[in-house]
Amino acid sequence: MSFFKRLFGGGGGASPAEPAAPKTAASEEYNGFTIAAAPIPDSGQFRLAGTVSKTIGGEAKEHRFVRADLLPSLDDAAQAALRKARQLVDEQGDRLFQR
């Protein structure tokens, strides 16, 4: 493939890969919920993100959250995500899974 085809996206090559799902950096059980921090790398920093999950009536429920906060290290972002997840559980409880 020529330089210009690669540069301008010609040639019918493979489409760009989809971004990988964030990996869990830390998790814990909290008031009957499982909370997991999954910070997303973003421009040399980490965006605060995670999940809150619980089994209700035999069905696994999950709420994903992403916040605008950017933190300089993976550990800082993971700890902030766990704090945010605890706050969500304290404020909303099972209502977190209602849509």
Do the domain assignments include residue 81? yes
Do the domain assignments include residue 89? yes
- Residue-wise pLDDT tens digits, 56-90: 999 999 999 999 999 999 999 999 999 999 999 99
- Residue-wise pLDDT tens digits, 25-38: 889 999 999 999 99
The residue range of the domain holding 85 is 22-97
Which residues, 6 or more positions from 69, have their beta carbon under 8 angstroms from its beta carbon? 47, 48, 77, 80
Q: What is the pTM of this model?
A: 0.75
The token duo for 37 is 């921090």
Among 1-5, 35-39, 53-57, 95-99, whose mean pLDDT is lowest?
Answer: 1-5
Do the domain assignments include residue 77? yes
Do the domain assignments include residue 29? yes
Do the domain assignments include residue 7? no
Do the domain assignments include residue 72? yes
CATH of the domain at 30: 3.30.160.350
Do the domain assignments include residue 40? yes
If one counts the domains in the chain, the total is 1
